[in-house]
Structure 1
């Protein structure tokens, strides 16, 4: 059977970001649908974002492409161009290698639910333009290359 049993799908609550960069993402919850389906090249998550929480720190990827669609509620998409409110049915996409950092913030008073889809290329690197952080395949480093610790 191919239907995903949502009750059996892996769940990730919080973040692996090192302190202090973890604070805004501690309560986010991802239902890992792509993993539940056995997908290797595509990540698919149902993100539940409580009020006041962020989807991530603002970032961009060298090799991975990302797509988001708001299913319920409202979030603010923050990019280099500024801020845009996304509501249920609104979508956004982010090309690999485009150095326009992005993330979602829930500034509303109710939970937002977002579908996240992204490619999973090997050896991708994530850049965080606003903070002293880079994501390498084997963990987080500061921009000078000093390790934060294993992922």
Structure 2
């Protein structure tokens, strides 16, 4: 059946970010939709950001497109162009290879909810975090000098 039962899909706030970078996303809760739906060529997550939480650190992908559809609440999109308030019905698109570090920050007093979709070659993907000493690839995370962190990307 194409309709997913969100309540039956486990929700987690797990992250592969190494300390101290993991703290910023403690209030990010998500459900991985693609595996339970049988989708194999794209990723999709139903995400809730609690007040004060970040969706991620500002980042961009070399091999994966990202699309975000806001469902409820309000967040601030922070990217290389500045800050933009986004809310229900807003759609955000980040093409692969466009070096525009981006993330969402919930500065409101209520949770916000969105669906994040990614498509592209996850195994070859890599990218950067412009504000912190971290880059990523399919193997995990490294400092910008190439020294690896022990943490692994969360599937």
Count matched residues. Answer: 151
5+ residue gaps, structure 2: none
Q: Name the counterpart of 1:119.
A: 119
CA shift at 1:97, angstroms? 0.2
Q: Contact conserved, 2:18 with 2:151, CA < 8 A, in 1?
A: no
Q: Contact conserved, 2:141 with 2:151, CA < 8 A, in 1?
A: yes
Q: Name the counterpart of 2:6.
A: 6
1:120-146 deviation per Cα after TM superposition (whole angstroms, max 9, x unaligned): 412100211111001110111101111
Q: State the secondary structure of the residue aligned to 1:116.
A: strand
1:66-111 deviation per Cα after TM superposition (whole angstroms, max 9, x unaligned): 0111100000000111000001111110000000100000000000
After TM superposition, the structure 1 stretch with the greater mean CA deviation from structure 2, 5-14 or 138-147, is 5-14
Pair 1:59-2:36 in alignment? no
Equivalence map 1:129-140=2 (5 Å): 129-140=130-141
Distance 2:5 2:88 in 1: 24
1:20-39 deviation per Cα after TM superposition (whole angstroms, max 9, x unaligned): 11111012111111111121
After TM superposition, the structure 1 stretch with the greater mean CA deviation from structure 2, 11-20 or 46-55, is 11-20
Q: Contact conserved, 1:101 with 1:128, CA < 8 A, in 2?
A: yes
Q: State the secondary structure of the residue aligned to 2:24.
A: helix
For the aligned residue pairs, the C-alpha RMSD in angstroms reads: 1.3
Q: Name the counterpart of 1:41.
A: 41
CA shift at 1:53, angstroms? 0.1
Q: Contact conserved, 2:17 with 2:151, CA < 8 A, in 1?
A: no
Q: State the secondary structure of the residue aligned to 1:23.
A: helix
